[in-house]
Structure 1
């Protein structure tokens, strides 16, 4: 999956939950914060589908309790 597509999906997820999203550049990864939930994504143009799906699932699981 393209990195831009993953970022678009995460922005949509943040919009659904009416939360702010922030991207911060770390050493080798980008730190994504939606509300108080954080995760990292690799800084590659192409991200493995399994990794991208896990990041999406992680945010969906942890954001369901917040609103």
Structure 2
């Protein structure tokens, strides 16, 4: 999955929960935050489908009931 597509999907999740999505650069990864839930995203242009799906699933599970 392209990194931009993953970022777009995370923006949709944040919008659905009425929260802000922020990115900050860590040492070797980008840190994505939606509300107070954080996850690291690899800095590759192309992200493995399994990795991208697990990042999306992580945010969806941890934001349920917190909006």
Q: CA deviation at 1:6?
A: 0.1
Q: What is the CA RMSD across the aligned residues, in angstroms?
A: 0.5
Q: How many residues align?
A: 67
Secondary structure of the structure 2 residue equivalent to 1:65: coil
Q: Structure 2, unaligned stretches of length 5 or more?
A: none
1:46 pairs with 2:37: no
Q: Which residue of 2 aligns with 1:19?
A: 19
Q: Which residue of 1 aligns with 2:7?
A: 7
**TM-score normalised to the size of structure 1?**
0.98
Q: CA deviation at 1:14?
A: 0.1
Q: Which residue of 2 aligns with 1:30?
A: 30
Q: CA deviation at 1:65?
A: 2.3
Q: Which runs of 4+ in 1 moved over 4 A?
A: none
Q: Structure 1, unaligned stretches of length 5 or more?
A: none
Q: Which residue of 1 aligns with 2:60?
A: 60
